[in-house]
Amino acid sequence: MFIDEVIISVKAGDGGNGCLAFRREKFVPRGGPSGGDGGRGGDVVLVSSEHYNTLLHFRFNPEHTAERGRHGEGSNRTGREGHSVELPVPVGTIMYNAETGEQLFDFTESGQRFVVAKGGRGGRGNARFATSTHQAPTEHEEGKPGDALKLRFELKLLADAGLVGFPNAGKSTLISRLSSAKPKIANYPFTTLEPNLGVVQAGDDHTFVLADIPGLIEGAHEGHGLGIQFLRHVERTTVLVHLVDVSDFSGRDPAHDFDIILEELASFSVALTEKPMIVVANKIDACQDPNRIEAVKAKADERGFEFHAISAVTGDGLEALRYAIAARLFTEADNVTIAS
């Protein structure tokens, strides 16, 4: 099960209470105060990990509490500190305060640590209050409470390029041909119900991560179909690959489909429309009318987008598309040429 948004509660450990005690030992006539301090409460720490790619482990375990510190004891013994709790989150998780909406941290790399709730300080024992003029203090402190708050986690998968388009446009077939990913493929809409990631090899020295996003339909920003709940996963991508079904049997106007997807992207985030885009006319093996392909190409040329015509089923044009995506990702950043 793919879960990309959860709300959890975290509670750091309370500090232990300080102790009120006096030494009563044989041959020690003036024992004095001997109450130790309470131990500090444990923290709640979030750690990003590459071993997780979903927030499912929080779905049925939404409450996490660190251990409280032990109380101080006589003979100036300080209470033991409480054990901290470490919670693993997938790389790409953004953490918000669920009550205020404030963004607290963005986990973009593996191994990042963030103390989200600090344990309470232990209270001081009465030995801490002894002075030359106050030699038998009875004052002692209670431990401070640990932080408690509600968190909202939002996972945005880290991919270099993202596939967008209408349902049944061939996105799952394309990612299965370009990578080792094995998404569900069938001849009906909304086959893909969750994002899929695939690692694509481009030449001997370059690889990139391609994300297959569930299909959009007109009115997705209003909640139609699967809505736009998965578009957050292409917000971090460098390049968008817009797949358009140009086959004769689709019963749709590919040029109109192209415009609709752009409108839905803009409705979700203007930043998505500003990303570099490669327009891909797919299923050319099932297209007898070349005007359908030319109409999409004209739309792409009008907006200055790179255009490719492919068949994900037969493999026509796949290698050129593979290296075109890699070129957009690497050549500007690395100043290298991707050899095909």
Q: What is the dihedral of CA 166, 172, 175, 181, to 10 degrees?
A: 150
**321 and 266, same structural domain?**
yes
Q: Specify the number of domains making up the chain.
A: 2
273 domain residue, yes or no: yes
240 domain residue, yes or no: yes
Domain termination residue (choose one: 155, 178, 206)? 155
**66 and 145, same structural domain?**
yes
- State yes or no: pLDDT of 190 exceeds 70: no
Q: Which residue has the tokens 């069938």?
A: 186
> Would you place residue 223 in the very low, low, confident or very high pLDDT band (cuts 50, 70, 90)?
low
Q: What is the pLDDT of residue 243?
A: 93
Range of the domain at 248: 161-334
Please tell me whether the overall predicted TM-score, pTM, comes out greater than 0.75 for this model.
Answer: no
| Tokens matching residue 205 | 């020295």
For residue 325, with 0-12 CB atoms within 10 Å meaning exposed, 13-18 middle and 19 or more buried, which class applies? buried
Residues 314-324: pLDDT tens digits?
999 999 999 99
Give the mean pLDDT of 107-120. Answer: 95
Looking at residue 264, which CATH number applies to its domain? 3.40.50.300
**169 and 310, same structural domain?**
yes
340 domain residue, yes or no: no
Q: How far apart are CA 200 and CA 169, in angstroms?
A: 20
Looking at residue 6, which CATH number applies to its domain? 2.70.210.12
88: number of CA atoms within 13 Å, CB side? 11
125 domain residue, yes or no: yes
Residues 270-300: pLDDT tens digits?
888 888 999 999 999 999 999 999 999 999 9
**234 and 314, same structural domain?**
yes
Domain termination residue (choose one: 155, 182, 206)? 155
Which 8-state DSSP code applies to residue 59? H
Number of residues that this document lists for the chain: 340
Report the phi/psi class of residue 46: left, alpha or beta, with left for phi > 0 and alpha for psi in -120 to 50.
beta
Of residues 186 and 53, more confidence is placed in 53
Between the alpha carbon of residue 149 and those of residues 58, 87, 98, 233, the distances in Å are 15, 15, 8, 26
**165 and 150, same structural domain?**
no
114 domain residue, yes or no: yes
**326 and 187, same structural domain?**
yes
**175 and 96, same structural domain?**
no
140 domain residue, yes or no: yes
Q: Are 338 and 327 in contact (CB under 8 A)?
A: yes
Phi, psi of 279 (to 5 degrees): -95, 130
Residues 6+ apart with CB under 8 A from 234: 159, 162, 164, 211, 213, 240, 272
182 domain residue, yes or no: yes
Of residues 192 and 266, more confidence is placed in 266
Q: What is the pLDDT of residue 185?
A: 47
- State yes or no: pLDDT of 194 exceeds 90: no
Residues 40-98: pLDDT tens digits?
999 999 999 988 888 989 988 999 999 999 999 999 999 999 999 999 999 999 999 99
